[in-house]
Amino acid sequence: MYRNAFAVLAGAQLAAAGLYPNMTPDNHTCILLADPVLSCSEDAVPEKVDSCCTETYGGLVLQTQFWSTHTGLESEGQVLPPYTWTIHGLWPDFCNGSYTQYCDLSRQYDPQPAPNTTNGKPDGTPVPPYTGPSLETLFEPHGKLDLLAYMKKYWINQYAPNWELWAHEFSKHATCFSTFDTECYGPKASKYDDLFNFYETVIAYYKALPTWGWLSAANIRPSNTTSYSLSDVQAALSLGYGAVPYIGCSGPKYNQTEAGKGSLDNGGTQLSEVYYYYHVYGAAQRNQGLRVGADIAGGSVSSCAKAPGAIWYYERAAGSESA
């Protein structure tokens, strides 16, 4: 469910503080900027701009989505929404495609940190599991029940309560955006302003990326009897997005299936996730970005099998979708 720990990890962690320790909570009125600076450009560095108003730390921003066929908690009412993919998160990769995580342990709400150190290695700073109450308990006191309702419908976990995924995404990723640093919210900020702002920002990006609709428009729809080719999935999503996204597949490797026996194609065969890449103008919260290809930093654009007809986009299991 979470990005593999073997992906490149880079950058020193400021594990229990903001990304820029000398920053104060004063004078971050971003609306006063004449022109927003594009992340990953030569001017998007803390020496030249206010890091609360321009993303200077994780400038390659990914909005990530899941296609899941079940939750494992259907008996508890945790089900998937019909006719849509679900939210995974919003990630701040470095401009070279590497990334870091858990950048501020004072904002650690993840009960199952993955990985459990800040650099993903045994010598990294341990990330202590969160043992407090469910994050769901925060929404009503802060007048955010409408936000909670949306998240419970579209931001769905597997085999664990939804709020644990929300906590993981905030703690691992939001803390590594310069524009979500606590100092950016001013000296009178409430404790959870950054948390709610992050969730609202993720939703804003997600709502602009109708993966199910883009695939459906190309006659690519969930089926247990019809398989698809990666090239067709890529074409449909690239047409909708305007750049090639990363397409992830899980399940058996193609060369481990009967159809792929003897093949060198070891890509996955079950469509399961998609990552949309951006450079963002100003703060990520603006939801104004330049859509870029998943290969912009030299990375792969898919983990799926390339053989024709090798990809399965399975239907949701019976009882796993809401009415």
Write the secondary structure of 224-275 as one string of H (helix), E (strand) and C (coil).
CCCCECHHHHHHHHHHHHCCCCEEEEEEEEHHHCCCCCCCCCCCEEEEEEEE
Residue 19's CB is within 10 A of a number of other CB atoms, namely 24
The single residue listed with the structure tokens 């290969």 is 295
* Catalytic residue status for 321: no
From 88, 168, 183, 273, the catalytic residue: 88
From 55, 164, 169, 183, the catalytic residue: 169
* Catalytic residue status for 169: yes
From 70, 168, 173, 279, the catalytic residue: 173
Residue 136's CB is within 10 A of a number of other CB atoms, namely 15
The single residue listed with the structure tokens 């022109």 is 35
The answer to whether the CB of 85 falls within 8 A of the CB of 212 is yes
Joined tokens for residue 119:
């650099």
* Catalytic residue status for 28: no
DSSP 31-88: GG-SSPPBTTSTT-STTTS-TTTS--SS-EEEEEEE--S--S-GGGT--BPTTS-EEE
> Looking at the annotation, which residues are catalytic?
88, 169, 173
